[in-house]
Amino acid sequence: MVNIRGADTPTDRLRCAVVGSGNIGSDLLLKLRRSTVLEPRLLVGIDPASDGLRRARRLGIEATAGGVDALLAAAPDIDLVFEATSAAAHLANAPRYRAAGLTVLDLTPAAVGPYVVPAVNLTEVRAEPNLNLVTCGGQATVPIVAAISRIAPVSYAEIVATIASRAAGPGTRANIDEFTETTADALCRVGGAARGKAIIILNPADPPLIMRNTVFAAVAADTDVDAVTESIERMVETVQGYVPGYRMSAPVQITPRGGPDGGLRVSVFLQVTGAADYLPSYAGNLDIITAAAIATAERIRPELKAEVGA
């Protein structure tokens, strides 16, 4: 096999495989190529005619249509797997990865392993062999809920994610409940809210709109609102550290008696402009979940390298 990037030289970069040759897989490959500590070793698909596989080969990355069997055959040369297939496929694949000793970052809504939101809980979950990236909306909004929770208890958090129709892949469209349920669950488990709700809206406008996310949170009337605002602003900077196109489109809004139980409503309006690696910049939803996966991989690399060395 020929690898134009020089795979013969021993590397301390993490050797990565991407399973799934669609939009997410293709975007991941482009981001992996840019990373100084991650190396795209293998793209795994199931359709020999896939554009994604052809593109990977053009980039000099080995690509196979042999599915997970081909991946498992190459397992000794792989440190980390990115799952970019579907929830159903990951449910089938996860036990096989585990048996082969492969660590996996799961970008499907399968949620086999615990959720990871790099700005919030990476330290707690970094040793887990299977981490789930929640959803695009979850990566955009859970950090904000966590930023409020670290100041005051959030009795209820709700998010509205508005995504360009063209940026919502067939998997999302066929299983839209998985998006809302997984995101709502992560608002509670990772964001710290007592109750959570997620709403997703697809907008077909042309030119496509940039991904928008609104976070509403209910907190008690006597909450220190300056501390909440400051915590949210700090969190936005943290997320910007790995998602450069992440920003607030308006200042944090605090509405008295705006909550369902008479407390305060905190409203945060976010936009995510994609890095335009694979899909155009309007697809911030694609960008934020792949960027979060890359950030996770880069930060868990020392553990994985230590295991390999041991």
Partner 1 sequence: MSTTDSPVVDSTDHVPPLTGRRIQICDTTLRDGSHSVRHQFSADDVATVSAGLNRAGVPMVEVTHGDGLGGSSFAYGFARCPDDELIRTARAQLTDSQLAALLLPGVGTIEHLRRAADQGLDVIRVATHCTEADIAAQHLTEGRELGLVTVGFLMMSHMLPPDRLAAQARVMADAGAQVVYVVDSAGALLPHQVSTRVAALRTALPPEVSVGMHAHNNLGSGVPNALAAAMAGADHLDGSCHGLGAGAGNAATEVLVAALDRCGAETGIATQALIDVAADDVARICAGNLPALDRTALLLGYCGIYSSFLLHARRAAQQYQVAEADIIRALGRHRPVGGQEDLIIDVAIALAQRRQPS
Q: Which is nearer to partner 1, 202 or 304 (CB)?
A: 202
Q: Which is nearer to partner 1, 155 or 238 (CB)?
A: 155
Q: What is the closest distance, in whole angstroms, from the C-beta atom of residue 249 to partner 1 in the complex?
A: 6
* 175 contacts partner 1 (rule: CB under 8 A): yes
* 181 contacts partner 1 (rule: CB under 8 A): yes
Which of 94, 154, 200, 239 is close enough to bind partner 1 by CB under 8 A? 200
Q: Which is nearer to partner 1, 48 or 251 (CB)?
A: 251
The contact mask relative to partner 1 for 252-271 (x = CB under 8 A, - = no) is: -x-x--x-x----x-x-x--
Among the candidate windows 44-52, 74-82, 167-175, 284-292, which touches partner 1 by CB under 8 A? 167-175
Site for partner 1 in 62-81 (CB under 8 A): none
Residues annotated catalytic, as ranges: 136
Any binding-site annotation on 132?
Answer: no
Q: What is the closest distance, in whole angstroms, from the C-beta atom of residue 239 to partner 1 in the complex?
A: 19
Q: Tell me which residue has tokens 């509205």.
A: 160
How many degrees, rounded to 5, is the angle at CA 164 between CA 216 and CA 215? 5
Q: What is the closest distance, in whole angstroms, from the C-beta atom of residue 148 to partner 1 in the complex?
A: 14
Among the candidate windows 66-74, 113-121, 196-204, 228-236, which touches partner 1 by CB under 8 A? 196-204
Give the dihedral sign, CA 190/175/31/77.
positive
Which of 4, 174, 306, 310 is close enough to bind partner 1 by CB under 8 A? 174
* 3 contacts partner 1 (rule: CB under 8 A): no
- Between CA 240 and CA 148 the distance in angstroms is 17
* 197 contacts partner 1 (rule: CB under 8 A): yes
* 202 contacts partner 1 (rule: CB under 8 A): yes
- Between CA 134 and CA 178 the distance in angstroms is 10
End-to-end CA gap in the chain = 27
Q: Which is nearer to partner 1, 214 or 285 (CB)?
A: 214
Any binding-site annotation on 93?
Answer: no
Which of 182, 214, 223, 296 is close enough to bind partner 1 by CB under 8 A? 214
Q: Which phi and psi (to 5°) does residue 118 adopt?
A: -50, -35
Any binding-site annotation on 210?
Answer: no
Query: How many of the chain's residues bind partner 1 (CB under 8 A)?
Result: 35
Binding residues: 21-24, 285
Binding residues for NAD(+): 21-24, 285
The residues of the shown chain that bind partner 1, judged by CB under 8 A, are: 158, 160, 162, 165, 173-177, 179-181, 197, 199-205, 209, 212, 214, 216, 218, 249-251, 253, 255, 258, 260, 265, 267, 269
